[in-house]
Structure 1
């Protein structure tokens, strides 16, 4: 694929599901609006030392008046700085910062024990921590780099999700947002480890949705945003804003978005148009990753004359 020849909105239009698309925050996903209020909720966000977690998701949930926001990242000084930024945005929000590696089961379990002690429960989990270590074709990729993406994107998400579900319990509604990628549902050259790990992550949230009736689990492609880890070939496309990703994540944590349970969405899609198509999306099983075709012995038996 010759990226240089593509228009800068290519990745928006090629994956467009709604007639209207956005690249910046708009009224329906304004986290300060009453309709999107997260008042009383405890929100956990991973990968908050930089990028979308720090500049998009964390500020949006602060603006939405969450009761408490738990910021998780490996870099202690940066995650603490992110915590101070949240306090400046909304001094009423309680902030807990925790430096840990989401791959470490003991650390993750200790985090949720601390959350239980501090706040008693939890309401929203944004699995944002991720890795796209390798940018080589499969024939050239270092197997260790390839597998590293799976350990971060799949094992890390699993450990955070398990502890979250155990703290939430069986009867309390809650939301899990897995920050995914268009690469998880399509083939983008030289992104094999990242895209395949994101595909597994997308399917994981479908299991969560099926197995936990009170949990709304959604995969969110956060857009093409210019961050410190943006690959050079993607810079020209990176015109989506942090605020758009944050606002959509807050919308996904409201009652309005429950019909998206078990599904994938792109941050550029119009949430108003998604709600207008709610019945179609649910009845036709749209926006889920699955094998397409007609299967089963009965199809051949029914065709006999």
Structure 2
């Protein structure tokens, strides 16, 4: 499998990227997160630690709420951020995102210190239940769906409930995957869970006019979650993923609402996406649908 296999197979715009490029550099004024509070789940490792946390710190967020299970890892990360980005506050909250009480505690702490958060990055997830439906371990299969879907739901619900008014603007970016819409035998749990979290974004977009909610495919970055079969194509950088996350969460410039509830790949050039805005909206692209010709009128005598 060539290194650009998935980039080419999933190409939707003319230009693609595998590393940071000018339009998504978090330090530019148009992507500033000044005054904003950002919650990042799965912050202690992987794309949380390497992509989203540094990107939002570079974007000048007022505060980054670091969420993961390991208190020690979170505190270590908070210490590093304090040294590298002294102008960015951190709040480390050890949280089991699949536990309602733990998530309630998270947003109570956010409320106590900041009132509410402005941006939510649903990055946390697991990828362990691998095998055909006939053979895969049932407990591992359900654990993956529970953490990935229930965890994303609970954190998103807590974030939305904490907004002061129904008109308060907010951003939610949730990590999905190409396996959400393509079948990869042996990856049923991951594929279903990543389709499920995308669906959550679609409902948030439909139910909350004040919120921009997007499902972001990170591409393939070399992390502990990458299985052997995908390692030859794991050439995307954390800076690419983090930069796209900041771009999707931006408050200035082009309104990102045309991507509300939709799937986007980190590999796609964001300026090209903006250029296709009217086409995306008119044809309802980057969405999940069922193919067919429907309606009783097709069968009228």
Please classify the TM superposition score into its range, dividing by the shorter chain length.
Answer: over 0.9
1:283 maps to 2:278: no
Between the aligned partners of 1:297 and 1:102, the Cα distance in structure 2 is 45
- Measure the CA separation in 1 of the matches of 2:192 and 2:175: 14
Q: What displacement does 1:70 show?
A: 0.2
Q: CA deviation at 1:64?
A: 0.2
Unaligned runs of at least 5 residues, structure 2: none
Match of 1:105 among 96, 100, 106: 100
Matched, 1:30 2:25: yes
2:76 pairs with one of 81, 102, 110: 81
Q: 1:105-145 CA deviation, whole Å, 9 max, x = no partner?
A: 01101110110110112110001110111121111101111
- The partner residue of 1:190 within 186, 190, 198 is 186
Three-state SS of the structure 2 residue aligned to 1:197 is helix
SS in 2 for 1:72: strand
Q: Write out the 4+ residue segments of structure 1 that deviate beyond 6 Å after TM superposition.
A: none
Superposed displacement of residue 258, structure 1: 2.3
Deviation at 1:147, TM superposition (A): 0.6
Is contact 2:126-2:225 (8 Å) kept? no
Q: For residues 161-196 of structure 1, give each alpha carbon's deviation from its aligned partner in whole angstroms, at most 9, with x where no partner exists.
A: 111000114110101111111111111121110011
TM superposition shift of 1:300: 1.9
The answer to whether the 8 Å contact 1:219/1:264 transfers is yes
CA distance in 2 between partners of 1:88 and 1:210 (Å) = 41
TM-aligned CA deviation for residue 78 of structure 1 = 1.1
Instruction: Say whether 1:199 aligns with 2:195.
Output: yes
Partner of 1:272: 271
Q: How many aligned residue pairs are there?
A: 297
Deviation at 1:17? 0.7
- Asked whether the equivalents of residues 62 and 89 of structure 1 are also in contact (C-alpha less than 8 Å), the reply is no
What corresponds to 1:224 in structure 2?
A: 220
Q: How does 1:1-305 map to 2 (within 5 A)?
A: 6-168=1-163, 169-255=165-251, 256=254, 257-301=256-300, 304=301
1:244-263 Cα offsets, whole Å, 9 max, x none, are 00000000002432211110
TM-score by length of 1: 0.95
TM-score normalized by the length of structure 2: 0.96
RMSD: 1.0
Instruction: String of CA shifts for 1:56-80, please: whole Å, max 9, x gaps.
Output: 0000000000111001001111111
Counterparts of 2:179 and 2:83 in 1: how far apart (Å)?
Answer: 35
Assess if the C-alpha contact under 8 Å between 1:133 and 1:148 holds in 2: no
CA distance in 2, matches of 1:11, 1:93: 36
The alignment partner of 1:23 has SS state of: coil
1:42 touches 1:119 (CA, 8 Å); kept in 2? Answer: yes
What is the distance in 2 between the residues matched to 1:292 and 1:270?
Answer: 28
CA contact (8 A) 1:21 1:270 kept: yes
